[in-house]
Chains A and B, each alone.
Chain A
């Protein structure tokens, strides 16, 4: 069972920042927040993960609230190719690979 709650869908204008929220109010202290995305009919693509500090890589930034009960994935300059379903996942690292995907957020980037 997924331990996260995400909006079903969101729209974003091309070139603008896309901010995707995720609630994980039951997260425990040693669980990480992972983000993946899936472009239609392809395998999910790893984006970023974090424990409690904000993280940034070449694809996105991850902002985790101080109480760790929610997070936001930020795509700084969304392009049409960022249209996908985005999954927020809570998991134990260094434990196992059983990732519980929820329904995710369908992000549509519009020109």
Chain B
């Protein structure tokens, strides 16, 4: 069974731009969660989607948003990028909310 895939793997943007990251969950998994990892703050929960609905949201500004499609694939968007948004963005999928989460390799975003 294929694992979680994330595209792109690396991305360079400039301040003020926006970015969209994509995540394809493991086949059969309906829940997708997003995390941000930085050296200073560690791994932080962004939000979770299940059946196309956002179930939970972490403590991030409204510039961070996401959505989930009917095939469970998910995208997250960051608008008006700031230098501090440079991070590894990780997507995790699970059968449903509360089950073991399986992480993708991440997208490394660099904001210049």
The DSSP consensus for interface residues of chain B is strand
A16–B35 alpha-carbon span in the complex (Å):
33
User: Please, what's the 1-or-0 string for B65-100, where 1 marks a CB less than 8 Å from any CB in chain A?
Assistant: 000000000000000000000001010101001111
CA distance A94 to B100 in the complex (A): 10
In the complex, the answer to whether A96 meets B101 with C-beta atoms within 8 Å is no
Chain B residues 39 to 82 lying within 8 A of chain A, measured CB to CB, are 42-45, 48, 55-56, 58
Q: Is the CB of A43 within 8 A of B105?
A: yes
Q: Tally A-B pairs: CB < 8 A.
A: 60
Contact of A93 among B33, B90, B98 (CB under 8 A): B98
B21 on the interface (CB 8 Å rule)? Answer: no
Interface size range of chain A in the complex = 20 to 34
Q: Which of A42, A46, A92, A103 contacts B101 (CB 8 A)?
A: A46
Given known A43-B90, A43-B106, A44-B43, contact A99–B101 (CB-CB < 8 A): yes
Minimal beta-carbon separation of B90 from chain A (angstroms): 5
Docked CA distance A102–B43 (Å) = 8
Interface residues of A (CB under 8 A from B): 34, 41-46, 49, 87, 92-103
